Structure 1
Amino acid sequence: MADPMLYDYPDPLEGWKDQEPLSTQRNPDGKSLKNTQTPILSQSYTTFIDPLAQDSRGAFDIHIYYTATSTFETSFARSLHERIRREFPELRIYPMFDRPVGPHPKAMFEVNLFSPQQFGAFVPWLVIHRGPLSALLHPNTDDAVRDHTQRATWMGQQLALNVDSLIEFERRRAAAEKSATTTTNDGA
């Protein structure tokens, strides 16, 4: 994982600072705090926030890992892959990779999530149905290294990713963007 002190973080209360103080009153359960209810739900129920990708990449990727040399894990992964395709046909799912790919240290397959509704339905389902397999849940923003490290969430055993491949990917992407900008400016 990345050192959290390497990054800047926005103030969680940005845009909410001039509000009335919150009550310390408890709900009837005697434990939880009573919140002031409003008729409007957070936009996060229907729209992913910036800087999450709103394009063909999807806002979140989930990588589900298995040990390719384990008959049990491979069989379980195949069954899980099929079940996801049948129960969630609206999700984009990739074929199973039987070896490490990119920063991923083991065989795996990937599922992309494009909406809060998909996220809310699929992530709890996967928590229950992933069995012995580990899963990496990460956002897609313009910082692949941070997405796979500091912003990553793991289900099951956390695996060490090949972060160097992500750093190289970011370097190439920046060079391509710079080249495209230079070409556009030269042609104007």
Structure 2
Amino acid sequence: MSDPSLYTYPSPLEGYQNLPALPDERNDDGKSFKNPQTGVKSKAYSEFTSPIDNGVRGGFDVHIYFLQSDEGQTKFAKELWERIRREFPELRIYQPWDKPIGPHYTGMFEVNLFTPEQFGAFVPWLVINRGPLSALVHPNTGDDIRDHSQLATWMGEPLPVNLALLRRFLKSKA
């Protein structure tokens, strides 16, 4: 994966400096803290945090992998693909690839998520319904290498991603 030391990180408190201290009061469970309510929800409920794409490309890609040499996994993946198309018709869903494509070493299909609402509905659904398959969930920030590596989240067993091929592809587009 990508070396985190190659990147800079803004403070998580950017925009929240110099505010009053948070209370130490606990909720009834005795473990969690009571947070001061503002009456205003975070914008992250309705739009993806910058620099995640809120436009045509979509904020997140979900790559769902299967071993094309395993008939059982291939069958399950194609059934899952059909179910996703039926249950989530508003999402952009690509064809299953029975061979490696792009930086992906094995068969897969891709689903694009455009809103936090779609992300919040689809990702928990996939956690429960992905069966034996692994899934890579990554944002679209415009930094494809970092998106597919350091910013990626895995469901199931992480699989290798061919970042060298992705780098060559991106260099050829420049």
What interval of TM-score do these two structures reach, taking the shorter chain for normalisation? over 0.9
Could you tell me which residue of structure 1 aligns to residue 79 of structure 2? 79
Could you tell me which residue of structure 2 aligns to residue 19 of structure 1? 19
Matches within 5 A, 1:1-188: 1-173=1-173, 175=174
Query: TM-score, normalising length from structure 1?
Result: 0.90
Tell me the SS of whatever aligns to 1:165. helix
Following superposition, the deviation at residue 17 of structure 1 comes to 0.6
Q: Select the structure of larger CA radius of gyration.
A: 1
Q: Which runs of 4+ in 1 moved over 4 A?
A: none
Counterpart contact for 1:67–1:73, Cα < 8 Å? yes
Following superposition, the deviation at residue 120 of structure 1 comes to 0.4
Counterpart contact for 2:47–2:54, Cα < 8 Å? no
Please give the alpha-carbon distance, in whole angstroms, between the structure 1 residues aligned to 2:47 and 2:61.
Answer: 16
Counterpart contact for 1:143–1:170, Cα < 8 Å? no
Please give the alpha-carbon distance, in whole angstroms, between the structure 2 residues aligned to 1:12 and 1:120.
Answer: 22
Query: TM-score, normalising length from structure 2?
Result: 0.97
Tell me the SS of whatever aligns to 2:147. helix
Q: CA RMSD in A?
A: 0.8
Please give the alpha-carbon distance, in whole angstroms, between the structure 1 residues aligned to 2:96 and 2:35.
Answer: 45
Could you tell me which residue of structure 2 aligns to residue 179 of structure 1? none
Please give the alpha-carbon distance, in whole angstroms, between the structure 2 residues aligned to 1:45 and 1:172.
Answer: 37
Following superposition, the deviation at residue 71 of structure 1 comes to 1.1
Please give the alpha-carbon distance, in whole angstroms, between the structure 1 residues aligned to 2:11 and 2:137.
Answer: 24
The total of aligned residue pairs comes to 174
Please give the alpha-carbon distance, in whole angstroms, between the structure 1 residues aligned to 2:152 and 2:172.
Answer: 22
Higher fraction of helix: 1
- Sequence identity of aligned pairs in percent? 57
Where structure 2 has 5 or more consecutive residues not aligned to the other structure, the ranges are none
> Which piece of structure 1 moves more, 162-171 or 61-70?
162-171
Following superposition, the deviation at residue 55 of structure 1 comes to 2.3
